[in-house]
Structure 1
Amino acid sequence: MAAKKLYETFSKALIEEVHRWGSLKQTGVSLRYMMEFGSTPSDRTLLISAQFLHKELPIRIARRAIELESLPYGLSDKSAVLKVRDWYLDSFRDLRSFPEIKDTVDELNFTQMIKMIKVRHNNVVPMMALGVQQLKKDFKPKTLPTNLDEIHQFLDRFYMSRIGIRMLIGQHVALHDPNPPPDCVGYIHTKMSPVEVARHASEDARSICLREYGSAPQIDIYGDPSFTFPYVPSHLHLMVFELVKNSLRAVQERFMDSDRVAPPVRIIVADGIEDVTIKISDEGGGIPRSGLPKIFTYLYSTAQNPLNENLDIESYDAVTMAGYGYGLPISRLYARYFGGDLQIISMEGYGTDAYLHLSRLGDSQEPLP
């Protein structure tokens, strides 16, 4: 069923409240602050955290809901985008209708509610990708505007905001764990080994390559497994998984019909004073220089698109070998969220090097859109 227009589904008073909250200032937090604040979770710190989220989440969610209403090229009217907008408005309404948080009982009820909000938004990325596909379908290839900067900039802001919202909710919920893993403060591992995370992410990517192609190149990892620093392992896993997956696919497809043994993908972890840098190198043939500007956009993928109009998005399995071209831009947003970055350097005819920079200082604020 197609999503309805705004005023058919939501009251005028709610829409006015969304605009009022969307004009308020967001408050950014740093990795270091989250780590120090949550280091010894107590009823009091959890109460303060919930009170902060009760004020902060509606501001962030309202801003995205407003922006979803006025996207260029008619993107706001696509059924998939309307569905995402409805999720944001439902979540805003849930947050604003929750009374003031005064005690532990309120805090626990609030925590249950924001857990449900996080689940509601699980499929925002594939659903927005579907909306962009719907837009692309409207344009015949020759009439697709060459400059879609507005859409790319919106999606960067939108997904960066989503990373922040999910980090704040996930961190608060994880602080309730009565038996947290050793050295973990919510989502943050205070002694994370980037070599170990890279190993797990590589194994996951390699198993998908094996499933897709029946074989997979080797992966060699260089670095000190005992070196640790504070970071969010799930974020690093996602980024390394995406980069290794791309490298494996490039090498596998280049050497599939060759008599030569496919060269390994190499991962090097370097421990610097400011940054931890992870370099992922392959000999998959590289990317033409003309293609490099496209790799961080949301309308470019060299793989077959796994999304279609009849997709049951609720049961969608997000881990495919390649797909809707969002892996690299979203990985770069994850890197930038805590002050890092992602760079891709290519030698056409040979291979690609990806440099993933992670700030080890932990004191850069969220880059709020």
Structure 2
Amino acid sequence: MKQTGVSLRYMMEFGSTPTDKNLLISAQFLHKELPIRIARRAIELQTLPYALSQKPAILKVRDWYLDSFRDLRSFPEIKDKINELEFTEIIKMIKVRHNNVVPTMALGIQQLKKSLGPKVDYKDLDEIHQFLDRFYMSRIGIRMLIGQHVALHDRNPPPDCVGYIHTKMSPLEVARSASEDARSICLREYGSAPDINIYGDPDFTFPYVPAHLHLMVFELVKNSLRAVQEQFMDLDKIAPPVRIIVADGLEDVTIKVSDEGGGIPRSGLPKIFTYLYSTAQNPLDEQVDELGTSNVATMAGYGYGIPISRLYARYFGGDLQIISMEGYGTDAYLHLSRLGDSQEPLP
């Protein structure tokens, strides 16, 4: 069955009056839409190349999807407020069930890499890479729809918030808070951290999902801090600051994160966006059978931060580009669409 995309603007306008009638319409839409999206992912999980579908971690994820599909399909038609509230509890539970999908998938990919051995060329794993892009993009959409519906039940929403969407979000504020988070992790891991300077109009706001922006800026700043820190740690020079510039155009809001951390060779740039590669030591080794459910964000994850950040940017019509000057530093450009009327890109 066909999936139905939703735009940020639609979610915002629809959710701005969360009457019982609107919540009912929203629940009826999700009751029909979520099983369609979940079914597509479940089928893909069963038909992956290189016997990836047989890996224990992937089977676990597939079972979560099948359980959620069953829960949704066995839920009766939603006719009144009581059904709607029961349905909301079910989708809340589904969202929690899927909390650890990303680390579990990462573990599955690792199990695959182990079984393929060092001889594999990651260019050959293109199919898997495309599958993961579709899979994670779809997951962002499902979690956004569920989260948005659940949040509309909040009796005292924060000012200017419609569910997950902040109608007057200050990108500068979000960038500041995300970079402080990244900096404190850097301090914890290295004992020191470069400064971060932020430039832009502090009064500028636009509608967006702060949690998404926080995640993207956090990832970019964390990478920059790590590059600068490792470049300057053993030298007695003062580490140059990481610069964040927020520009508000008519169509796009662009956030640029610049560092002087030595850059990335051009041959390494394509690897930044793959899920099968991380320069860091893998924090997710097989010992962590509980799937690393610790909430400690590490400085260098399982190499998923950048490709997943790009999906978050694209989800609402933006993009992420990374330009590097080897021997000097890296600039990351995060483009966010200002119009909010681009449809979800449904894989």
Q: List alignment gaps of at least 5 residues for structure 1.
A: 1-23
Q: Return the alpha-carbon distance in structure 1 between the equivalents of residues 168 and 7 of structure 2.
A: 17
Q: Return the alpha-carbon distance in structure 2 between the equivalents of residues 282 and 243 of structure 1.
A: 10
Q: Does 1:367 align with 2:345?
A: yes
Q: Does 1:147 align with 2:147?
A: no
**AA partner of residue 325 (structure 1):** G
Q: Does 1:100 align with 2:77?
A: yes
Q: Structure 1 residues 145, 184: closer, same or farther in 2, change over 3 A? A: closer
Check the 8 A contact 2:122/2:276 in 1, yes or no: no
In the alignment, which residue of structure 2 is the partner of 1:114? 91
Q: Return the alpha-carbon distance in structure 2 between the equivalents of residues 243 and 258 of structure 1.
A: 24
Check the 8 A contact 1:335/1:356 in 2, yes or no: yes
Q: Return the alpha-carbon distance in structure 2 between the equivalents of residues 215 and 274 of structure 1.
A: 38
**Deviation at residue 316 of structure 1 after TM alignment:** 3.4
Check the 8 A contact 1:136/1:144 in 2, yes or no: no
Which one of 310, 313, 317 corresponds to residue 291 of structure 2? 313
Q: Return the alpha-carbon distance in structure 2 between the equivalents of residues 318 and 133 of structure 1.
A: 20
Check the 8 A contact 1:221/1:267 in 2, yes or no: yes
TM-score of the aligned structures, taking structure 1 as reference length: 0.93
**Deviation at residue 40 of structure 1 after TM alignment:** 1.0
**AA partner of residue 311 (structure 2):** L
In the alignment, which residue of structure 2 is the partner of 1:41? 18
Q: Structure 1 residues 267, 322: closer, same or farther in 2, change over 3 A? A: same
Q: Return the alpha-carbon distance in structure 2 between the equivalents of residues 300 and 33 of structure 1.
A: 37
Q: List alignment gaps of at least 5 residues for structure 2.
A: none
Q: Does 1:231 align with 2:231?
A: no
Q: Return the alpha-carbon distance in structure 2 between the equivalents of residues 150 and 211 of structure 1.
A: 38
Which one of 312, 324, 345 corresponds to residue 346 of structure 1? 324
**AA partner of residue 73 (structure 2):** R
In the alignment, which residue of structure 2 is the partner of 1:69? 46
Q: Return the alpha-carbon distance in structure 2 between the equivalents of residues 259 and 322 of structure 1.
A: 24
In the alignment, which residue of structure 2 is the partner of 1:6? none
Aligned 1:122-137 pairs, distance under 5 A: 122-137=99-114
Q: Return the alpha-carbon distance in structure 2 between the equivalents of residues 35 and 132 of structure 1.
A: 36
Which one of 122, 138, 141 corresponds to residue 164 of structure 1? 141
Q: Does 1:325 align with 2:329?
A: no
**Deviation at residue 331 of structure 1 after TM alignment:** 0.1
Describe the superposition over 1:171-213 as per-residue Cα deviations: whole angstroms up to 9, x where unpaired: 0000000000000000000000000000000000000000000
Q: Return the alpha-carbon distance in structure 2 between the equivalents of residues 68 and 131 of structure 1.
A: 11
Kindly tell me the number of residue pairs found equivalent between the two proteins: 346
Q: Structure 1 residues 300, 145: closer, same or farther in 2, change over 3 A? A: closer
Check the 8 A contact 1:126/1:318 in 2, yes or no: no
Q: Return the alpha-carbon distance in structure 2 between the equivalents of residues 192 and 302 of structure 1.
A: 34
**Deviation at residue 139 of structure 1 after TM alignment:** 1.6
**AA partner of residue 315 (structure 2):** Y
**AA partner of residue 343 (structure 2):** Q
- SS at 1:313 equivalent: coil
In the alignment, which residue of structure 2 is the partner of 1:173? 150
Q: Return the alpha-carbon distance in structure 2 between the equivalents of residues 224 and 145 of structure 1.
A: 42
**Deviation at residue 313 of structure 1 after TM alignment:** 1.9
Q: Does 1:335 align with 2:313?
A: yes
**Deviation at residue 109 of structure 1 after TM alignment:** 0.5
**Deviation at residue 314 of structure 1 after TM alignment:** 6.8
Q: Return the alpha-carbon distance in structure 1 between the equivalents of residues 91 and 67 of structure 2.
A: 12
Q: Return the alpha-carbon distance in structure 2 between the equivalents of residues 176 and 50 of structure 1.
A: 12
Query: Which runs of structure 1 show a deviation greater than 6 angstroms over 4 or more consecutive aligned residues?
Result: none
CA-atom RMSD, angstroms? 0.9
In the alignment, which residue of structure 2 is the partner of 1:182? 159
Describe the superposition over 1:18-68 as per-residue Cα deviations: whole angstroms up to 9, x where unpaired: xxxxxx000000000000000011100000000000000000000000000
In the alignment, which residue of structure 2 is the partner of 1:357? 335
Q: Does 1:280 align with 2:257?
A: yes
Check the 8 A contact 2:26/2:149 in 1, yes or no: yes
Percent identical among aligned pairs is 85
Q: Does 1:51 align with 2:28?
A: yes
Q: Return the alpha-carbon distance in structure 2 between the equivalents of residues 318 and 138 of structure 1.
A: 29
**AA partner of residue 298 (structure 2):** T
